[in-house]
Structure 1
Amino acid sequence: MRLDPGQSWTINVNPGTTQARIWGRTNCNFDANGNGQCQTGDCNGLLQCQGYGKAPNTLAEFALNQPNNLDFVDISNVDGFNIPMDFSPTTAVCKSLRCAANIVGECPAELQTPGGCNNPCTVYKTNQYCCTDGPGTCGPTPLSKFFKDRCPDAYSYPQDDPTSLFTCPAGTNYAITFCP
């Protein structure tokens, strides 16, 4: 769905949902059949996404009503960054998350891509950046620290849980704002 400035869209998500992602796509063009492409966050050329978006994309991630009656929420730059985002609770008192730095404008040369800033895993595809060899096999790098310095609450590499994963009481409602 296209959202113009000031517009909103309500999504009802079932309790127990896991591995959920919401992201914005930019510079999209679709035909009457819903086929086309987006510069960032593309979904295999489809208007109606049927999988994860193509990097780079700033992600709001969540798992609802998990153990101990908690929602797990985060903003992630693990797939890179395309647009600023705010991910905040609207019905509970818990942490509001925001990643609104000028990441695209300050992106290191090796991570630059039209309309966004790739995460190092997208570019280099090695365990050092992707943590593909399992838990505890990688840590922050100078390139992941670029993202962390600008958005301290957002994931900057796959095993960045201690500073990037937050909880709210199950049943909390949230607002995700693009370009806050």
Structure 2
Amino acid sequence: ALGVSLIFMAALYIYVQGVGCATFEIRNECSSTVWAAGIPHGGGKQLEKGQSWTVQFPAGTTGRFWGRTGCSFDGSGKGSCKTGDCGGLLNCQGSGGVPASLAEFAVNQFENKDFYDISLVDGFNLPLSIIPSNNQCTKSVCSSDINSKCPTELRVPDGCKSPCVAFNTPQYCCTGSFLDNCPPTDYSRFFKRECPQAYSYAKDDTTSTFTCPGGTNYKVVFCGTT
């Protein structure tokens, strides 16, 4: 009986630990290689077209995924990327460099809900979609090729900087005197027009953050919407 009880308790522990966690399938549908990144779990993974990478976030985790482009790494996983670089490491240990399109998640938070968004606050480098496994939840999509339309003053190789990154002023970064009252600018309107569901600047919450019940799984797709 003791053995059965121990097995039951172990199974219960595993079940409880798994409640509210989220499994992410990170998939590359771009025509070229993407070096996916994930923090605080995942690290990094090279993905050719059509390849996927699975990462799990425990309940209570806040994190993000993004794609890196134009990378070159040696056998030890050290190198560099044109966009989204992680301190020269394939296996990311911290936030990536700009510009980068971000898929942001807060797993099983307030009222056991997941919160998620696509953010262009750090700029854009790749089209990106978030697809919940729960069909009642909103699919968030940024499918525009913003790089080809990027204003000249924001343009960099393989990417489009945000105005905050480009100019670093309170008006564009929503800091200082603009901390509490930060209206959209012509630049943020450009990003919003191209990707209406994505964060176009720091105060763009109302049309950009989505929720889903805890325990939902997600696909994060580069250059694809399914």
Partner of 2:196: 152
TM-score, structure 2 as length reference: 0.77
Establish whether residue 59 from structure 1 lines up as the match of residue 102 from structure 2: yes
Amino acid across the alignment from 1:110: E
Structure 1 residues not aligned, in runs of 5+: none
CA distance in structure 2 between the partners assigned to 1:30 and 1:67 by the alignment = 40
Number of residue pairs matched by the alignment: 179
Contact map agreement 2:126 2:145 (CA 8 A) in 1: no
Partner of 2:24: none
Partner of 2:166: 123
Contact map agreement 1:70 1:168 (CA 8 A) in 2: yes
2:213 is aligned, of 163, 169, 172, to 169
SS across alignment from 2:114: strand
124-133 or 69-78, which deviates more? 124-133
Write the deviation string for residues 20-67 of structure 1: whole angstroms up to 9, x where unpaired. Answer: 110000010011111110000000111111111101100000101111
1:137 is aligned, of 150, 166, 181, to 181
Contact map agreement 1:127 1:137 (CA 8 A) in 2: no
Cα displacement (A) at 1:137: 3.1
CA distance in structure 2 between the partners assigned to 1:159 and 1:121 by the alignment = 12
Partner of 1:73: 116
CA distance in structure 2 between the partners assigned to 1:135 and 1:42 by the alignment = 28
Write the deviation string for residues 113-169 of structure 1: whole angstroms up to 9, x where unpaired. Answer: 000000000001111111123752312100011100010010000111111111111
CA distance in structure 2 between the partners assigned to 1:132 and 1:49 by the alignment = 28
Partner of 2:58: 14
91-100 or 142-151, which deviates more? 91-100
Contact map agreement 2:64 2:103 (CA 8 A) in 1: yes
Amino acid across the alignment from 1:126: T
5-14 or 135-144, which deviates more? 135-144
SS across alignment from 2:118: strand
Aligned Cα root-mean-square deviation (Å): 1.1
Amino acid across the alignment from 2:187: L
Partner of 1:49: 92
CA distance in structure 2 between the partners assigned to 1:46 and 1:7 by the alignment = 20
Q: Which aligned segments of 4 or more residues in structure 1 are displaced greater than 6 angstroms?
A: none
Structure 2 residues not aligned, in runs of 5+: 1-44
CA distance in structure 1 between the partners assigned to 2:168 and 2:183 by the alignment = 15
SS across alignment from 1:163: coil
